[in-house]
Structure 1
Amino acid sequence: MELHLSGRSVLVSGGASGIGAATVEAFLAEGAAVTVLDRAAGPDDLPVRWVRGDVTDEASVREAVAAAGPLDIAVGCAGISGPMGVPATDITRDDFTRTVEVNLTGQFLLAKHAAPAMAASSAPAIVFVASDSGFVAAPGMVAYCAAKGGVVMLTRALAVDLEAARVRVNCVCPSIVDTPMARADLGAAFDALPVPVHRPADVARSILYLAAPVSAGINGTAQLLDFGGLAKSSFPA
């Protein structure tokens, strides 16, 4: 399938590792011009514009959008786990707030500044990385689940709000992905998981499809990538 992404200007937040890095590589392979916003320093061997900054800092987001020039696509990959395996009653206010700021407020700021920069684009699109944790909950993940659930609703609200500007907004919601963050969260248990695990490149392919002009009819959706997990009934049949 021809995605028609060659020459398009793309901004990726959180592009230094994991899903973000795979997304950057995938867009470059399609011939897109890529700008990255990340707190980490960029590699020297990638032909991208690199802006060091925090996605929760509005000035950094504004700088990255300006560096990208007239935009076609913005992809929000920046995210943190926050407190994992911690009961809700033990989570500090600061930890909860920081998790929401990075995972949800950061996505809002990206869309807020990217959308006006897409005015001249023939096919403007925004794609967020959410999670299946926006639909289902696991113990000890209150802050993360709340933030990712917020991204799902933010996607829908922005799709409505930006409809007049012709900017499509969608999100992908993967289950466990083999990333440095996931491995740090789960430790040695990661390699013994009894469930299938995504590769970052798998998620990147879905992001590219939702960002591409070929998906013009898709707007305001949350694409679950969970190997059918949410579809399974708990009925003992």
Structure 2
Amino acid sequence: MAAAARPRTHLRTMTPTAAELDGAVVLVTGAASGIGAAVAGLAARRGATPVLLDHDIEGVRQRVASLGKHDFPGVRELPALAIGTDVTDEPSVRSAVDSTLERFGRIDIVITCAGISGPVGSRLEQVSLADWQRVFAVNVTGAYLTLKHTLPALRRSPHAAAVLVASDSALVAAPGMVPYCASKAAVVQLARALSVETAGQVRVNAVCPSVVNTPMSRGDLGRGDFTGAGYPVHEPEQIAEHVLFLASPQAGGVHGTALTMDFGYSARSAFPA
């Protein structure tokens, strides 16, 4: 039997700047606001070329303009790209990937942040089929389509990585969130299964944050802000730090992991003793 081919390594000599992204082309879905916007902004500050995808084209255009103006004063034109994309529509995703490759010639990192919560507070028997399918279309099919069409380019990158934004709701549950919980569990297993399929070529991981201070979370919980919430809340920039660590060469040995960020809540027993 022939010896199995040794997988390509994603590790390199560690230096103080090893977490910098060194001009990598980083494609981010759901980048008009929330975690996606924070990831794109931090990636740019770390030296990457961000590609911002969102169905809200004006939102991502404003993000790109904001990056150039606030994060890089004096820089006339930031190497970044904003593309209006519906992640549930395969031709739309394919077109966005083609546009990215035409502009930059490669894709090194993919971060799937596009997501919706769906009907929060509704019992399963009250959830319409259309609402159920919409949650899975955005949260799961959107990640699948993005990865399907970026994987050929990722496989050509020497330090390819993908990070899927899931949720602690993939691991624990609250009443009235069955579609969201089920979809985020699917995202975690998508990351794990794909990490096995792409071993030695593309590192694939997921992150599972608890409540994050985003427009979606504030809307779901009926809050203008989280002041006095009584529970800890992440800022999007904190999630972005973890996401980009997993995407960086410093995390070269991390494959198929779902990183839980929930302030330790899921580790606690609810047993009343």
Q: TM-score, normalised by structure 2?
A: 0.83
**CA–CA separation in structure 2 for the residues paired with 1:112 and 1:188:** 36
Match of 1:6 among 22, 37, 55: 22
Q: Secondary structure at the match of 2:223?
A: helix
**CA–CA separation in structure 1 for the residues paired with 2:149 and 2:189:** 19
Task: Establish whether residue 60 from structure 1 lines up as the match of residue 76 from structure 2.
Answer: no
**CA–CA separation in structure 1 for the residues paired with 2:96 and 2:86:** 10
Letter in 2 for 1:27: A
Bigger Rg, which one = 2
Q: Secondary structure at the match of 2:221?
A: helix
Other-structure match for 2:66: 45
* 2:20–2:47 CA contact under 8 A, matched in 1: no
Other-structure match for 1:167: 202
Comparing 118-127 and 61-70, the one that deviates more: 61-70
- Taking only the aligned residue pairs, the percentage that are identical comes to 48
**CA–CA separation in structure 1 for the residues paired with 2:190 and 2:155:** 21
Other-structure match for 1:118: 154
Deviation sequence 1:74-114 (CA, Å, 0-9, x none) = 00000001010001100000000000110011011111111
Task: Write out the 4+ residue segments of structure 1 that deviate beyond 4 Å after TM superposition.
Answer: none
Task: Establish whether residue 188 from structure 1 lines up as the match of residue 223 from structure 2.
Answer: yes
**Contiguous gaps of at least 5 residues in structure 1:** none
Other-structure match for 2:40: 24
* 1:134–1:145 CA contact under 8 A, matched in 2: yes
Give 1:58 deviation, angstroms: 1.1
Task: Establish whether residue 84 from structure 1 lines up as the match of residue 120 from structure 2.
Answer: yes
Q: Secondary structure at the match of 2:194?
A: helix
**CA–CA separation in structure 2 for the residues paired with 1:188 and 1:12:** 27
**CA–CA separation in structure 1 for the residues paired with 2:271 and 2:179:** 29
Give 1:60 deviation, angstroms: 1.6
* 1:7–1:32 CA contact under 8 A, matched in 2: yes
Comparing 177-186 and 41-50, the one that deviates more: 41-50
Give 1:208 deviation, angstroms: 0.3
* 1:65–1:117 CA contact under 8 A, matched in 2: no
Q: Secondary structure at the match of 2:52?
A: strand
**CA–CA separation in structure 2 for the residues paired with 1:226 and 1:67:** 36
Other-structure match for 1:209: 245
Give 1:55 deviation, angstroms: 0.7
Give 1:198 deviation, angstroms: 0.2
Letter in 2 for 1:103: N
Match of 1:15 among 31, 49, 54: 31
**CA–CA separation in structure 1 for the residues paired with 2:66 and 2:120:** 34
Give 1:119 deviation, angstroms: 2.8
